[in-house]
A and B are shown apart, each in its own frame.
Chain A
Amino acid sequence: MANMLEVKNIETYYDLVYAIRGASFAVEEGSITAILGNNGAGKSTILKTIMGLIEDQPDKGTIEFEGVQIQHKDTDEIVRKGIAYVPEGREVFEELTVHEHLLMGAYTRKDSSMIKNDIEKVFDYFPVLKERTNQWAGTLSGGEQQMLAIGRALMLRPRLMILDEPSLGLSPLLVKDIFSIIKEINQNGTTILLVEQNANMALSISSTGLILENGRFVMKGKSKDLMEDKDVKEFYLGIKSETSAKGYQRWKRKKAWR
């Protein structure tokens, strides 16, 4: 299958902080791709770079979406090409209602007749939101905001959906729901790029997995293979940590892959 998104050798700086140090990867059309990595590895930074949210970045490298280079384009233009983004930390409009958020999510769409339908669909996915239709997003609970951010992105009917830790702050039940929703969206033809801390879940639904360390990819492969990998098991899936904390088992200082 063709690559929908192709990131080649990008480097990103925050002022003088060198955050992404030459990262390349591709997202196949119709696939679910997951990026894993430690705290501060630069996962969010990669996504932000793709979305054109960091001014004048990437410093080097190219980003191609369906064959068109999109680096250094305005965010709204990138969005208009059919990429939806669920940012880390939700980024809701505090003083807009839930309903208004969903309308805004469909801002770029022309087929206004379908919007109502899609709103209903989002409410189907997240019934809580329906009860909160006219509440200001700023006063929603953390998890509700997260649902709203995902719902807003869905409203775009994107070709590619980029999610930054969608399960953050959701209840176990909802985490399961979210992943099945992601799967469902994917089956309906949307390609997914996912950043997750919940490696277990992420790898179980994705086809490709990438592991980021210190701004570089250190491992790429089929998710199935990654799940079998010893290091991944140890560091990301926590398989070895069966002994509970009550046993005071302390994690060894972690060594980085290099």
Chain B
Amino acid sequence: MIDFIQMIVSGVATGSTYALMGLAMVIIYKTSEVPNFAQGEMALITSYFAMMLLTTMNISVYLAFFISFAFAAILGAFLEFVILRRAKEPNVLGMIVITIGIEMVLLGFVSWKFGAEEKTMPFPIGPYDGFIVGGIYISKLDVLTLISALFFMIVLYLFFKFSKLGLAMKATQQNSVAAQIVGIKTNRIMMMTWGISSLVGATAGLLISPTVMQPFMMWDPMLKGFAAAVMGGMTSLPGAVIAAYMLGIIENLFGGYISIEFKTVVAFAIIVLVLCVKPSGLFARHYVKKV
């Protein structure tokens, strides 16, 4: 029983990271229909940036994190402004290739600057700090990740739901020409969503970093976050988060009770099954084109 609960707890912990990445992917997809493959690396470079601040400058963690969040937001907006916006008559696949390109550039940059060796980020909460409640181990860092994920989900959900902006984002995604002709500053919206998304993703990166940092650390969370976002419906913030926790928990239970070697791929198998039944994910209405 304890094992079972522990697995659930671990699943939630893992799911939180996925949820953050998933949220970040959803935010961008909501406005531009682009699955952003650079999401992980945007978080990566922010994490290394934070580490650089902490190790070379003598500033407090809080200040460093604050600066890093600002950095993440600016980075996201900058990438949109300098690269994605310049794409001439972009199609979705072209945009995917562009984000893959950005991903490579950022990855190369981080590896070039910081090398491949594993590092950890100095952080007030140690990676292995935690408490044991009734035989169940709960890591403090995981709790923080969970809180961040829920916090972002709720804040963003309310923000998009109750501001005109949320609707404007969806409008932009649906038809950017039409969005422009009702006066939506699509460019600004894009830039803003890239900024917000980068910030949310960076949170995941920063919370992974105290445990271990190396240039490829964001690959798995990014893919799983993407998978969760798809399972949730790709445009639904709560959907992405719920799906992320489902994935985290399923992975842990599957690893614990069935087969650990197929743990990583079970997530994808489940997603395919879900998509067979609901082709637009769990929490999105499926639109069938009318002629």
Binding site for B on A (CB under 8 A): 51, 53, 55, 74-76, 79-80, 84-85, 87, 91-96, 100, 103-105, 107-108, 136, 138-140, 152, 156
Residue numbers in B under 8 Å from A76 (CB-CB): 180, 183-186
Q: How far is the CA of A74 from the CA of B176 in the complex (A)?
A: 13
Binding site for A on B (CB under 8 A): 88, 164, 167-168, 170-171, 174-175, 177-187, 285, 287, 289-290
Q: How far is the CA of A96 from the CA of B181 in the complex (A)?
A: 16
A/B interface sample: 18 pairs, CB < 8 A: A74-B185, A76-B186, A79-B181, A79-B182, A84-B181, A87-B178, A91-B175, A92-B175, A94-B174, A96-B167, A96-B174, A100-B170, A100-B171, A104-B179, A107-B182, A108-B183, A138-B290, A156-B183
Asked if residues A79 and B175 are in contact (CB atoms below 8 Å), the reply is: no
Query: How far is the CB of A36 from the nearest CB of chain B, in Å?
Result: 23
Partner of A91, one of B168, B178, B287, B289: B178
Chain B contact residues, majority secondary structure: helix
Residue numbers in B under 8 Å from A84 (CB-CB): 181
Residue numbers in A under 8 Å from B187 (CB-CB): 74
**Given A136-B287, A139-B290, are A96 and B171 also a contact pair (CB < 8 Å)?**
yes
Asked if residues A156 and B174 are in contact (CB atoms below 8 Å), the reply is: no
Closest to B164 in A: A107
Q: How far is the CA of A95 from the CA of B173 in the complex (A)?
A: 10
Asked if residues B287 and A51 are in contact (CB atoms below 8 Å), the reply is: no
Q: How far is the CA of A85 from the CA of B179 in the complex (A)?
A: 11
Asked if residues A138 and B181 are in contact (CB atoms below 8 Å), the reply is: no
Q: How far is the CA of A235 from the CA of B240 in the complex (A)?
A: 58
Q: How far is the CA of A96 from the CA of B168 in the complex (A)?
A: 10
Closest to B172 in A: A93
Asked if residues A104 and B290 are in contact (CB atoms below 8 Å), the reply is: no
**Given A103-B167, A138-B289, are A94 and B180 also a contact pair (CB < 8 Å)?**
no
Query: How far is the CB of B164 from the nearest CB of chain A, in Å?
Result: 6
Closest to A93 in B: B174
Asked if residues A94 and B175 are in contact (CB atoms below 8 Å), the reply is: yes
Asked if residues B180 and A156 are in contact (CB atoms below 8 Å), the reply is: no
Partner of A85, one of B168, B181, B184: B181
> Which of A76, A79, A87 is the most central at the interface, judged by chain B CB atoms within 10 Å of its CB?
A76
Query: How far is the CB of A16 from the nearest CB of chain B, in Å?
Result: 15
Residue numbers in B under 8 Å from A79 (CB-CB): 180-183
Q: How far is the CA of A84 from the CA of B181 in the complex (A)?
A: 7
* The 10 residue pairs across chains A and B that have the minimum distance between CB atoms: A108-B183, A79-B183, A75-B180, A93-B174, A91-B178, A76-B185, A85-B181, A139-B290, A76-B183, A104-B182
Q: How far is the CA of A76 from the CA of B186 in the complex (A)?
A: 8
Q: How far is the CA of A103 from the CA of B181 in the complex (A)?
A: 13
Asked if residues A92 and B164 are in contact (CB atoms below 8 Å), the reply is: no
Residue numbers in B under 8 Å from A87 (CB-CB): 177-178, 181
Residue numbers in B under 8 Å from A136 (CB-CB): 285, 287
Q: How far is the CA of A145 from the CA of B97 in the complex (A)?
A: 34
Residue numbers in B under 8 Å from A55 (CB-CB): 88
Asked if residues A96 and B177 are in contact (CB atoms below 8 Å), the reply is: no
Partner of B167, one of A75, A94, A104, A140: A104
Query: How far is the CB of B56 from the nearest CB of chain A, in Å?
Result: 42
Partner of B183, one of A80, A94, A100: A80
Asked if residues B182 and A95 are in contact (CB atoms below 8 Å), the reply is: no
Q: How far is the CA of A94 from the CA of B171 in the complex (A)?
A: 9
Asked if residues A95 and B174 are in contact (CB atoms below 8 Å), the reply is: yes
Q: A93-B175, A107-B182, A139-B290 are in contact. List 16 more A-B contacts (CB 8 A).
A: A51-B181, A53-B180, A55-B88, A74-B185, A76-B183, A79-B181, A80-B183, A85-B181, A91-B177, A94-B175, A95-B174, A103-B167, A104-B179, A107-B168, A140-B290, A156-B182
